[in-house]
Amino acid sequence: MTLRFKLVHPDAQLPAYARPGDAGMDLKSVEDVVVPRFGRALVKTGLVMQLPPGYEAQVRPRSGLALKQGVTVLNTPGTIDSGYRGEVGVILANFGDSDFRVAKGDRIAQLVVAPVTRADVVETDTIDETDRGTGGFGSTGV
C-alpha cells in the first residue's frame, strides 16, 4: 500500500516507522506547544494525508510519553477517515504533575493504518441470547 502525504508546513516531516515490524509510524509536531497540567492541546503535524478508500488511520499515544510524562492522545484512537483532507492534528492530554512542553520536531503520537469493514445495518425485533446476556461493565470481575 502507498500512503501519500502533502507537507503543508515548512517544518513538517513524513511519518516514519522507527523499527522494522513496528505497527505505528511516529508523528512529529511542527510547533512549540505547552500542554497544561490536567489540560489538553491540539498539536499540528503539518501533514495532509490521502488514505485509500477502505482504510482508516488511527492516531494513538506513544507509550513512553504516557508512562514517563502522563501525556496521552485524548480521543484514542483518533480515527482519520479516508475522505478527510485537512491537516492531521493530535489532541494531547496531560495527566502529569506539571505542564508538558512540546517542541518542533518532537514525536507526539503514532499513526496506525488499518482496513475498515463496513456493516450493513438492519433493524430487527429479536436479538440472539448468550451466556453473558446483558452483563456489562465489570460483570466478569475486576
- Average pLDDT of the segment spanning 77-82: 96
This model's pTM is above 0.85: yes
Contacts of 116 (CB under 8 A, 6+ apart): 54, 55, 56, 82
pLDDT interval class at 72 (50, 70, 90): very high
pLDDT interval class at 123 (50, 70, 90): very high
Mean pLDDT, the chain, whole residue set: 96
Per-state percent for the chain, helix, strand, coil, to nearest 5: 5, 40, 55
Q: What is the C-alpha to C-alpha distance for residues 56 and 136, in angstroms, rounded to an integer?
A: 28
| CB-based contacts of 10-15 (< 8 A; 24+ apart in sequence) | 10/46, 11/46, 11/104, 11/105, 12/45, 12/46, 12/47, 13/46, 13/105, 14/47, 15/47, 15/111
Sheet holding 55-60, edge to edge: 25-28, 107-115, 55-60, 78-81
Domains for the chain: give ranges and CATH numbers.
4-115 (2.70.40.10)
26 SS3 class: strand
Confidence (pLDDT) at 85? 98
Whether 142 has a pLDDT exceeding 90, the answer reads no
Confidence (pLDDT) at 48? 98
Whether 100 has a pLDDT exceeding 90, the answer reads yes
Confidence (pLDDT) at 134? 84
